[in-house]
A and B are shown apart, each in its own frame.
Chain A
Amino acid sequence: MREKILAVMEKNSRIDLKDLAVMLGESEIAVANEIAQMEKEHIICGYHTLINWDNTTQEKVTALIEVKVTPQRGMGFDKIAERIYQYNEVNAVYLMSGAYDFTVFIEGKTMKEVALFVSSKLSTLDSVLSTATHFVLKKYKDHGTVLVEEIQDERMLITP
C-alpha cells in the first residue's frame, strides 16, 4: 500500500484522504495510519506547492551552483553539506558523482543577490575550493510537471 500511496501523493499531495482510500480499496483509517507512519519515518518529508513564479509578478531567480570542496578528515562531506544547507537562501543540496562535489540550488530576488551570497558566504567556507554559478533562465518542467503548456483534452466527447 505504501508505494501506491506515495505514487498518488507525489503527484497530488492535496488529494482527499477519503478519495485516496476509495481509490486504493483500503479503509480511510488504514491509509491515514500509513501516512502518519511514513511522516514519522521521514519517508514523507513535507507537502509543498509547485509554483511557476514566472507567471507571478514576483521577481525570483534560481541558480544552480557547482561546488568543489575538500572533504574534512573524519567528517567527510556531510559536515560541509550541513554548513551549506543551513542557509535559508539554499533550496537544495545534493552530493554528486563526477567532476564536482555538490549541486546547490539557491533562490534570491535578483541575480546580484544570489551572486553576492555565493561570493560572500559559499566561496569563503574553508573547505570550498571553487564554485560555478549557473542561473536558471526558464523552467519547462519541474517535479514531473510540464509548466509551459496547458494540457487540454482533445478527445471527441463521444466515441464507441
Chain B
Amino acid sequence: MRNPLSETIVQLEPSGIRKFFDIVSEMKDAISLGVGEPDFDTPWHVREEGIYSLEKGRTFYTSNAGLKELRQEICNYLYRRCDMTYRPESEILVTVGGSEAIDIALRAMLDPGDEVLIPQPCFVSYVPCTILAGGKPVIINLEEKDHFKLTPEKLLEKITDRTKVLILAFPNNPTGAVMRRDELQKIADIVIEKDLFVISDEIYCELTFGQERHVSIASLPGMKDRTVLINGFSKSYAMTGWRLGYAAAPRVILEQMLKIHQFAIMCAPTTSQYAAVDALKNGDADVDMMRESYDQRRRFVLNAFREMGLECFEPEGAFYAFPSIKRFGISSDEFANRFLREEKVAVVPGSAFGACGDGYLRVSYAYSLKSLKEALGRMARFVKRLDEECAPKG
C-alpha cells in the first residue's frame, strides 16, 4: 500500500501544548493555571437568545458570510469601540472562531515561498497555518526587556524581498503584552514603507487594562487597506464553545477568504450567530464587568509573584501573566513538569509558544480568587524549594 499521508502534514510539529496536556490529563486531582478561556459562563441573555433561535426553528444555513444582522452589529461594534468603519455587505466575514479566520486569511494571501513574519511568543496556530498555506514562517523573537512588544528594529531586521505578511497579536497570548498607539504607529510606518500586509489577531482586544483603550493597527492612517483584522466572541463575551469569530478586511482580500470559507465551512453555526447578535447589542456591560474582574485578579497574581520573588513584567492585557523562571537555571518544560508532579498544579511552559518563550511560564488568571490563592500558594512553596536547591551547599 502506498503511504496515505501528506509529507507536509507528517512533518508538521504537533502543538507543544498538546504534549503537556497529555501529561496533565493523566494526573488525577491536579489543579490548573493553564486554561486559555474565561472562567465566566456566557451571559444568560446571550445563551437565552441562542435557545430562543432554536425554539423558533432557526436551524438552517445562513449566508456564507454570516447573518446580515450580525455583520451589521459587528460593524456597529467596530465603530463604537474601535472607531473604525467597515461595510457589512463586503468587508465582514463571520467565521468558526478566530482560528478559522487566521487560517483562511493566510491561505487567501500567500503564494508558495512568501514569507510571514511571526513575532513569538505567540498563539500556537500561526506557524502551522502559514506552512499549510504554503508560506514560509519567519520568527521574530520578542524579548522581556521590550515587554514583549514588537519594536521597529526587530521588525526591520527580518524583512526581506519575499516578506508579505506580518502577524500581530496584541493583547498577546501568552505574554499579556499590549501595544499602544504610538508603538503601533512605528510598526505601521514600516509596513506601509515596505509594502507589507498585516493580519492582526485582536481576539483579546476588550481585555486591555489601564486608562488607554485598545487601539487596532487597522485604525491607523493608511492601514485599513493593508490589514485583516481578526476578532471574535470567545474571550470578550466568554463564548469559547460557541466557536464564533470574524474577519474585517478590505474587499479584495475578504472576497478570496469568503471563497475558501464557503467551500470549507459553508457558514458559521447559526445558533451561535443569533446569540452573538445579542452579545453585541446588549453585552457591553458584561464585557466591562469581566474586564474589571480580570484586572483585579491580574493585580493579585502579580503581587503574589512579587511576594514569592518571581520576576514578571507587568502584563497589560488578556488574562495571562508570563513570569520568568530563568534564575532557577532549568527549562520551562522541566519547571512545569516538576511543578505538576510535586504540587499538582498545571501551568503551560513558555516554550509551547515558541523557542524564545523558554525560561517563562504562562500563568492564566481566569480563575476564581479562591482557586488562584490555592494554586499560587503551592507555587510559592515550590519556588522556595527550588531556591533552596539552587543555594550553594555548606
A contact set with B: CB distance below 8 Å: 4, 7-8, 12, 15, 19, 22-25, 153, 155-160
CB-defined contacts of B52 to chain A, threshold 8 Å: none
- Minimal beta-carbon separation of A31 from chain B (angstroms): 12
Q: Contacts A153-B39, A159-B34 given: A25-B21 contact, CB under 8 Å?
A: no
Instruction: List the B side residues contacting A22 at CB < 8 Å.
Output: 299-300, 303
Question: Can you report 16 residue pairs joining A to B where beta carbons are below 8 Å apart?
Answer: A8-B296, A12-B369, A15-B369, A19-B373, A24-B296, A156-B21, A157-B346, A158-B20, A158-B21, A158-B346, A158-B348, A159-B37, A160-B36, A160-B123, A160-B124, A160-B352
B71 to chain A, nearest CB (A): 27
A4 to B20, CA, bound (A): 38
Q: Is the CB of A159 within 8 A of B299?
A: no
- B299 proximity list for chain A (CB < 8 A): 22-25
Q: Which residues of A contact B173 (CB under 8 A)?
A: 160
**Max chain A C-beta neighbours (<10 A), residue from B32, B346, B371:** B32
- Point out the residues of chain A lying under 8 angstroms from B34, CB to CB: 157-159
- Complex interface: chain A residues within 8 A of B262 (CB): none
Q: Give bound CA distance, A15 to B297, whole Å.
A: 13
> Is B24 in contact with chain A by the CB < 8 A criterion?
yes
Q: Which bracket fits the contact residues of B?
A: 20 to 34
B30 contacts A by Cβ under 8 Å: yes
**Chain B: CB-nearest residue to A25:** B299
Q: Which residues of B contact A15 (CB under 8 A)?
A: 369
Task: Give the complex CA separation of A25 and B303 in angstroms.
Answer: 10
Other-chain residue from A23, A155, A156, A160 in contact with B296 (beta carbon distance below 8 A): A23
Compute how far the CA of A12 lies from the CA of B368 in the bound complex, rounded to whole angstroms: 12
Are B300 and A158 closer than 8 Å at their CB atoms?
Answer: no
Contact of A19 among B15, B36, B37, B300 (CB under 8 A): B300
State the CA gap A159–B25 with chains docked (Å): 12
A155 touches B369 (CB 8 A): no
Given A19-B300, A19-B369, A24-B296, verify A157-B17 contact (CB < 8 Å). Answer: no
How many Å lie between the Cα of A145 and that of B326 in the bound state? 43
Task: Mark contacts of B14-29 with chain A using CB atoms, 8 A cut-off: 1 yes-contact digit, 0 otherwise.
Answer: 0101001100110000
With A23-B296, A158-B20 given, name 9 new contacts (CB 8 A): A22-B303, A24-B296, A153-B371, A156-B21, A157-B32, A158-B32, A158-B35, A159-B37, A160-B173
**Quick one: closest B residue to A155, CB to CB?**
B35
B183 on the interface (CB 8 Å rule)?
no
Which among B17, B30, B39, B346 is the interface contact of A160 at CB below 8 angstroms?
Answer: B17
List the A residue with the shortest CB-CB distance to B353.
A160
Complex CA gap A15/B373 in Å reads 12
Residues of chain B within 8 A (CB-CB) of A12 are: 369
Interface flag for B292 (CB, 8 Å): yes
Name the distance in Å between B250's Cβ and chain A's nearest Cβ: 29
Question: In the complex where A24-B296, A160-B15 touch, is A155 in contact with B30 (Cβ < 8 A)?
Answer: no
Instruction: For A15, give the chain B residue with the smallest CB separation.
Output: B369
Check if A158 sits within 8 Å of B24, measured CB to CB: yes
Compute how far the CA of A19 lies from the CA of B37 in the bound complex, rounded to whole angstroms: 24
Using known A-B contacts A153-B39, A158-B21, A159-B36, determine if residue A4 contacts B292 with beta carbons closer than 8 Å. yes
- CB pair A157–B36 under 8 Å, yes or no, is no
| Chain A residues within an 8 Å CB radius of B371 | 153
Known: A4-B292, A25-B299. A157 touches B39 (CB 8 A): no
Bound Cα distance A34, B181 (Å): 35
**Residues of chain A contacted by B32 (CB below 8 angstroms):** 157-158
Q: Which residue of B lies closest to A18 (CB)?
A: B303
Pick the 4 closest A-B CB pairs, nearest first.
A23-B296, A158-B34, A157-B32, A159-B36
| CB atoms of B24 and A23 under 8 A apart | no
Q: Find the A residue at minimum CB distance from B306.
A: A22
With a cutoff of 8 Å between Cβ atoms, the chain B residues found around residue A160 in the complex are 15, 17, 36, 123-125, 173, 352
The contact string, 1 if C-beta is below 8 Å from chain A, for chain B 274-306, is: 000000000000000000100011011001000
* Distance A158 CA – B348 CA, assembled complex (angstroms): 7
B72 to chain A, nearest CB (A): 31
Q: Is the CB of A157 within 8 A of B24?
A: yes
Q: How far is the CA of A159 from the CA of B346 in the complex (A)?
A: 11
Q: Which residues of B contact A19 (CB under 8 A)?
A: 300, 369, 373
Alpha-carbon separation in the docked complex, A23 to B294 (Å):
10
Docked-complex contact A155 and B300, CB < 8 angstroms: no
Q: When each residue 89-132 of chain B gets 1 if its CB lies under 8 Å from chain A and 0 otherwise, what string results?
A: 00000000000000000000000000000000001110000000
For A25, the chain B residues whose CB sits under 8 A away are: 299
Decide: B303 and A155 in contact? CB cutoff 8 A: no
B contact residues around A7 at 8 Å (CB): 292
B3 CB, nearest partner CB in chain A, Å? 29
Nearest-CB distance from B108 to chain A (Å)? 23
Partner of B35, one of A4, A8, A156: A156
Shortest distance between the CB of A140 and any CB in chain B (Å): 14
- Report the minimum CB–CB distance from A12 to chain B (whole Å): 8
Distance of A3 Cα from B173 Cα, bound (Å): 30
